[in-house]
Structure 1
Amino acid sequence: MLDGWKRRSLADLLEFRNGMNFTQASQGARVKIIGVGDFKDKEVLNDFSETPSITLNGKLNPDDLLKNDDLLFVRSNGNKALIGRCVLVSGITEPISFSGFTIRGRVKSDEINHSFASKLVRSPLFKEHLHRMGGGSSINNLSQDTLSEFCFSLPPLPEQRKIAEILRTWDEAIEKLEALRAAKLRRITSVRQRLFEAAFASHNRLQRARDIFEPVSERARPDLPLLAVMQDIGIVRRDELDRRVAMPDGDTSSYKVVRPGDFVISLRSFEGGLEYSTITGLVSPAYTVLRPTTEVVGDYYRHFFKSRSFIGRLDKLIFGIRDGKQIAFRDFGDMPIPAPPVSEQKAQTGALGCLEADLALENVRIEALTRQKRGLMQKLLTGEWRVNVEAD
C-alpha cells in the first residue's frame, strides 16, 4: 500500500438512496425532479432552469431532497451506455428531488473530498468495476450493492484535492473545445438552412423525390459484411462498432445490398431518417434502400437530408415522425426536393465540406484531450504518479 493511502470501498465513504417514483396530484406542493434526461455529459450538474417540476401527491420526505455536493448516478435506462454515469450536484437553491431511475450518493465520511469522489466514479477504474459486475458486458441495472462494493486505494485529503484540481484543468480545456465545436456545428446548420431554403425558393428546380431516387431490393449476397444504420454516425460495418448491436442468427441471403452512393431509410426516424452510404454491405430486409436514378452528388443530398429545411417539411408530411415512425417511400416520394444542376451541387457540397473538415479537427482535439485525461486519471488515481502537495 502506498504511503498514507488506505484501502476503502464506497460503502465506507458514501451512503446511497434510490430515487422515488412520484405520483402527481392536481394541487399541492411542487418540486423539481431530476431524471436521466437531465444528465449532461459533464461532471457537474448546476443548471436546473429546464428541470421539470411536478405537483406531488402527499408530502415529500426531507431525505428525498438533494443537497449540494451529492452524487447522482443513472440506475436504469434503455441505453445501457448511460447506466452508472454520475454527476456532482451543485448550486441548489430550491427543493429538488431525484427520480426512481437514479441513485443518490452522499458523502458520510471526512476521509473523502466530494470533488475527488466525483472524479473517482467517472474514472476507468470505476468503469472496469461496472464491467466486471456486468459479467464482462454492459451492466443492466445499477444497484446500491454494486456501488458499495467498489474498492480502491484512497489517498490523504491533500492529495485528493490536488488530484481533483489537476483533472479539473483537463475538464475545463475539454469544455472550451466542446463549446467551440458546438459553435461550429451551429454554423454548419445555419449555412445548410440558407442554402436549402434558397433551393426550395427556386420552384423551377424542384422535383419529386421519386424522380431522383428509387427503392432497390438487391439480395442474395451473404458474402458481404453486415452494416449498421446509425443516425449519429451514419452507415458503418457492424464489426467495427464499439457498441453492442444485435447480430442476425443464420441465413442473411434475404438481406438487402447497400452500395456506395445509396441512402437507407432509418427504422427510427427522429432526425430526417435517411443515411448515406460510402461502403458496400448488407442491411436488414426491414430497411428501405434508395438509389439515385439520375446523376447526383451524394454528399449534396447527405447534407440536405440532415437539414432543418428537409426535416421540417417531412414532419408536416409524416405525422409522428418524432416518435420514431418509419418513413414510407410512397410518402417520401411525393415530396418536392431541390434538384439543382450537378455543377451547383458540387460547389455547395465543397463549401459545406470545408466547414465539416474544420469541425472534424475539433473532434480530433477533443478526443486527444479526452484520451490524455483518461490516461492521467489512471496514473493519478492508482498512485502510480504522485502529486506534490507541499508546494501548495
Structure 2
Amino acid sequence: MTLPMRWSHGTLDDVISSVRGGFSAKCDDRQALPSERAVLKTGAVLNGRFDATQNKYVPPSEHASLRTPVSAGTIVFCRKNSEDTIGAAALVERDDPNIFLSDLLWELRPATGVDLHWLVSSLKCDRTRKLIQIEATGTQSTMKNISQGRLLSVPVAIPPLPEQRKIAEILRTWDVAIQKLEALRAGNLRRRVWLRSHLFTGRTRLPGYSGTWREVPLGEVLTEHGLQGTGAEQVFSVSVHKGLVNQIEHLGRSFAASETGHYNRVLPGDIVYTKSPTGDFPLGIIKQSKIGQEVIVSPLYGVFTPATYAFGVILDALFESPIAVRNYLHPLVQKGAKNTIAITNCRFLEGKLRLPMDPAEQAAIAEIVEASQSELACIEAEIQALTRQKRGLMQKLLTGEWRVSC
C-alpha cells in the first residue's frame, strides 16, 4: 500500500509503548457494588466503548491476586475471545481503582509521539481488526487467542502526530453524534417503561377518557381462529427484538418442514405466542404481527386475533418486557410428566389483565405506542447510518486515502 508523504509503514509495536495483562481471580457471579473490588468481563469492550459495569465481584480473599487496575488514558484490549470479537478495544476515560483487568484483557498505552485517540481508532478499524483475527491462534472459532508478539507485529500506517490528532478529532465528531442519538434511544425506552406501568394499567388516564377498565381473561379479547397454511404463505419465525421475521431472511435458511399445510396461519395484527424459551423470556415471547400479509408459523405457536387492532398493539408493547411476560405466564405454567413446562393455547387465554373497554381509549393508547415505536425505529436507523459512515471514514482516513488539513 502506497502511503502519502510523511506517513510511514510501521507496526503496532511502533505506536504502543506497553502491554500489561490482568489476572482472573475467583469471582462471584454478580456485578460489584461501587465500594467493592471486581474484575472486568470481556463485555466491557465488545461494543467499542468502555463499560465498567461489565464486571464480576471479587471477594476479599482474592484481593491479593489482583493487578492492573483500570486507568484513565489507557486502552483496554480483548486478547482472547471468539473469532468475531477478539481484538475489541475501548478507551478508558477515568480511573477506577476498584476494578481490575482479567487475564483475557490487556492494558495498552500509546508510545511517545502517538495520539491516544488515533491509536484506539486504528485498533478499531476494520483492516486492523481483520489482521488481528488472522494473527490469532486457536483450533476453534469460538475461542481465539493472540500473543503479545503477534499483536505488536500487526502492520499499521502511521501519519505525523498533527494529522493523527486531526483524524481523531474528525472521528470523535461522529462518536458524539452517535452518543447523542443513543441518549435519545435510552429516553425513548424509559418512556416505554413508564407507558407499561402507568398508561397500560389505567394508573394514568389520557385526558378526555373516563371509560371502564376491567380485569378480564385474555380469552375475552383474543380469539384462536385455528386457520392453517394454504401453501401460498411464506414461513416466518418470531424474534425478541424484531417480532415476526421471514425465516430465510432472518436465519439464512428455512427450518420449516417440507409440508407446511399444518402450520398456523397468521393474519395481519394477530398475536403470536411462541412457547419456546428465548434469552430473557424462559416461558416464550408474545408478539403482534406487523406484516401486511398473511404468513405461517410453526404449529407449536399459538395464534390469536385481538378483538380490536388496538388491543394487539397494547399487548405487543406490554409484553416486550420480560418481567411483564413472566408475571402473566408464570401462574399459567403446567408441568408435564417429564417435568417439562407447558402452556396450552387454552391455558394461555385464561390469564387476566386489566384493560380499557372503550374502543376509543384503546385506539388513543395504541396511537401513542405506535408513535413511540416509529420514533425508536427512526433513531435506530440514524444510529446505524452514522455508524456505517464512521466505519467508511475510518477506512479512508486511517489509510491516508483521504487527507486532512492540519
TM over 0.5: yes
Please report how far the alpha carbon of residue 180 of structure 1 lies from its aligned counterpart in structure 2 after TM superposition.
2.2
| Counterpart residue identity of residue 366, structure 1 | I
Q: Which residue in the other structure is 1:251 paired with?
A: 258
User: CA 1:99–1:282 in 2, change beyond 3 Å: closer, same or farther?
Assistant: farther
| Matching of residue 211 in structure 1 with residue 228 in structure 2 | no
**Post-superposition shift, 1:383?**
0.7
Q: Which runs of 5+ in 2 are unaligned?
A: 29-35, 206-210, 334-340
More displaced 10-residue stretch of structure 1: 200-209 or 63-72: 200-209
Compared CA separation, residues 222 and 128, structure 1 to 2 (3 A) = farther
Give the superposition deviation at 1:5: 2.2
- Describe the shift of the 1:125–1:143 C-alpha distance in structure 2 as closer, same or farther (beyond 3 A): same
Larger CA deviation: 3-12 vs 211-220: 211-220
What are the superposed Cα offsets for residues 73-121 of structure 1, whole Å, 9 maximum, x if unpaired? 27436xx865543222231241422335x33252364364332121123
Tell me the residue number matched to 1:303.
317
1:233 maps to 2:277: no
Whether 2:393 is the aligned partner of 1:376: answer yes
Give RMSD over aligned pairs: 4.0
Distance 2:24 2:299 in 1: 40
Q: What whole-Å deviation, never above 9, does each CA across 1:312-347 have from its counterpart, x for those lacking one?
A: 73276368xxxxx88664653221122524333222
What count of residue pairs does the alignment treat as equivalent? 370
Aligned match of 1:162: 166
**Structure 1: how far apart are the matches of 2:343 and 2:126?**
40
> Residues of 2 paired with 1:148 and 1:350: CA distance?
56
Aligned to 1:322: none
Map 1:39-58 to 2 at 5 A.
Answer: 39=45, 41=47, 43-45=49-51, 51-55=55-59, 57-58=61-62
Alignment match, 1:35: 41
Which amino acid is the alignment partner of residue 380 of structure 1? L
Letter in 2 for 1:87: A
CA pair 114-333 structure 1, distance change in 2 beyond 3 A: same
2:177 match: secondary structure: helix
Could you tell me which of 265, 276, 286 is aligned with 2:288? 276
List gaps (5 residues or longer) in structure 1: 320-324
Cα distance in 1 between the residues matched to 2:230 and 2:87: 41
Are residues 96 and 252 of structure 1, via their aligned partners in 2, closer, same or farther at CA, if it must alter by over 3 Å?
Answer: farther
Q: Deviation digits for residues 268-325 of structure 1, max 9, x if unmatched?
A: 2636821221234344444x23212644433232223236894473276368xxxxx8
C-alpha contact (below 8 Å) 2:263/2:299 kept by paired residues: yes
Instruction: Report how far residue 185 of structure 1 moved.
Output: 2.8
CA distance in 2, matches of 1:177, 1:250: 42
Residue-by-residue CA offset, 1:211-232 (whole Å, 9 max, x unaligned): 3335576556666433232111
Contact in 2 for aligned 1:262/1:276 (Cα 8 Å): yes
1:264 is matched with which residue? 272
Structure 2: distance between partners of 1:59 and 1:193: 42
Q: Which residue of 2 aligns with 1:191?
A: 195
Deviation at residue 7 of structure 1 after TM alignment: 2.7
Say yes or no: does 1:86 pair with 2:96. Answer: no
User: Do the aligned partners of 1:258 and 1:281 also contact (CA within 8 Å) in 2?
Assistant: yes
Deviation digits for residues 169-209 of structure 1 (CA, Å, limit 9, x no counterpart): 22112212221232233223323432211179988633211
Cα distance in structure 2, aligned partners of 1:22 and 1:226: 48
Give the counterpart letter for 2:195 in structure 1.
V
